[in-house]
Amino acid sequence: MYTTDSGAPPPTTRPVGRLRLGWLDNLRIALTVLVVVHHAAQAYGPADWWYVEGQPRTPALATLSAVDGAFFMSLFFFVSAVFVPESYEWRGTWPFLKGRLVRLGTPVVAGALTIVPGLMYAYYVRYRGYPPISFPHYFTDVYLGLGDRPADWSGPSWPDLQFGHLWFIQNLLAYVVLYVLCRKACHLLRRRPGPPRKTRAPGHAALLGLTAGISMATFLVRLRYPLDEWVPFLDFLQVEPARVPQYAAFFTLGVLAHRHDWLRRLHVRVGWVWLGGGLAGVALLFAVGSDAGCFGSGGFDAPSALWATYESVLCVALCVGLLTLFREAVTHRTRLTGELAACCYAVYIVHLPLVVTVQYCLADRGLSAAGAWLVVCVLVVPVSFLLAAALRRLPGLRQVL
């Protein structure tokens, strides 16, 4: 393993592992599309807060939202973490941190000052019931909180400032910083780190232990913080504590997967078994026709314990299973898939205002919940990728997007 902890210049040639894995890029594309599909369903399925209210709803989309929430962001953290160690070792501590701050921090700040206040303003004007105000007035007085707080303020917090879907980028940046701190601490404690010692790829017993650990941690955290409760950490990070055990675990697993070459060495039969179990769990949820709310979102009771366990099983099973599926069966890489993969990050940033705009346009059109959801998906998925491709070609944005 290359190391630059001591400040030595990086090697003159990139390590072999730097070569992109086509199947992993294909998985990133699928996950990005799933993010758009998930947000398209938010107005028509689950009872969670959303930017568009009063739309027809269907239990199937509520179940879809529960299934997505159980695993897809954890898998995003895993895939993001896989490339962190190699980038850190190739570039060195400070160039790596500077690059991450630019690539992750810039969209968070820019989005919190443009995309998110636009969405929150539309919600404020349409649903909050206050006298209409201009966007500049809303931005300074309500969003930034520079004005007086209304006595009958109906928002979940004051001011209205939040980071919306950019929470993932925020949290990923925090995990990256923690990773760097851990690497520096290890360097101080051990001056000459040896080469990585490859351990056995996780088998059924290890995955069952992982599932049990995540289940217990999730249940304990939700005694205090139920699902869909977001808290500001250090007055900056937007965190959903109820899912932190999953996210932190899978970011850590992504780092370990790189170090021990688990992506290549995970036994295919193990992956197929867990994929089958995950799909069976998904089928059971759709057959029952229930969403997470009926199982319990948090608290010291049996429904909450059941859902924490069931969700953790789905999380591990689907993450392991999808990694296996794409590694074994979705390996084809073309110029188009390469371009789509390069656009995934930008799609994540720009898709939400497109989703909400189309949802507003479809309101009161007489469409069923499933029909409206399908229209949003069909329109927004390709437009998001086209917009992302265009933005990435603008001067100065390619380095960030």
What is the secondary structure of 175-187 as a DSSP string?
A: HHHHHHHHHHHHH
Give the integer Cα–Cα distance in Å for 193 and 31.
35
Helices (H), 232-301: 244-260, 262-265, 268-288, 292-295
Q: Is the pLDDT of residue 337 over 50?
A: yes
How confident is the model at residue 63, as a pLDDT? Answer: 93
What pTM was computed for the model?
0.90
- Measuring CA to CA, which residue among 336, 388, 380 is closest to residue 361? 380
Give the integer Cα–Cα distance in Å for 30 and 340.
10
Q: pLDDT for 13-46, tens place per residue?
A: 344 344 457 899 999 999 999 999 999 999 999 8
What is the secondary structure of 304-330 as a DSSP string?
A: HHHHHHHHHHHHHHHHHHHHHHHHHH-
How confident is the model at residue 41, as a pLDDT? Answer: 96
Q: pLDDT for 153-201, tens place per residue?
A: 887 788 888 899 999 999 999 999 999 998 888 777 775 555 656 678 8
Instruction: Measure Cα distances from 391 to 342, 357, 368, 378 in Å.
Output: 12, 19, 34, 21
Please give, one letter per residue, the 3-state secondary structure of 213-246.
HHHHHHHHHHCCCCCCCCEEECCCEEECHHHHHH
In degrees rounded to 5, what are phi and psi of residue 236?
-140, -50
How confident is the model at residue 401, as a pLDDT? Answer: 78
pLDDT band at 291 (very low <50, low <70, confident <90, very high): very low
**Averaged confidence pLDDT in the chain:** 88
